[in-house]
Amino acid sequence: MPVAEDHPLPLFLPFNARLLMLGSFPPPQRRWSMDFYYPNMQNDMWRIFGLVFFEDKDYFILPSKKAFNKERIVDFLSYKGIALGDMGMKVIRKKENASDQFLEIITALDIEKILLSLPECKYIALTGQKAADTLLRILPVTEPKVEAYSEFGYKGKLMRLYRMPSTSRAYPKPLIEKSKAYKIMFEECGLLP
């Protein structure tokens, strides 16, 4: 019988964060190449960041090609003001993978508490359907289509909720196409010139 798992990583919340990116839950630790978000080498998040910001999909990969460069990623996210977290704080993993369809979220992220701690945050990006379904039960916002956003008012400020393509290779879209979608979002959030 599956056992409930607590989220194994602390939230990454730089004081200057304007964008909060939220996934569902990390993969099993045996698939990690680092102890940080999107740690699986089969996930393309850090390749997308490399392509969008540096025109180099390997920019955030160590020379060994077997792990992501956590220090470089953390420094970059801190500089840009990009926060990371997951909507699942306690989950039951029905299969030994990170697939949303086999995750049951028992305890969700306290998104309202997180947003209060990020006064400059005006943008939220969801990177998976389970994250979207969970957040939409909490915040008063209409679900955007993938690669689009919805605007909503929250505590006196206008915010945007982006629904981005999954960076998992299981999501049937080429890396270049996913990168284009993320680039548009980063531009609209003022994170690219």
Q: Give the tens place of pLDDT for each residue, 134-185.
A: 999 999 899 999 999 999 999 999 999 999 999 988 777 899 999 999 999 9
What predicted TM-score, i.e. pTM, was given to this entire model? 0.94
Summarize pLDDT for 125-139 with one digit per residue, the tens. Answer: 999 889 999 999 999
The domain ranges of the chain are: 4-188
Sign of the alpha-carbon dihedral angle for 6, 92, 148, 136:
negative
Decide if 6 contacts 89 (C-beta within 8 A): yes
Q: Is 144 within 8 Å of 162 (Cβ atoms)?
A: yes
CATH fold for the domain made of 4-188? Uracil-DNA Glycosylase, subunit E (3.40.470)
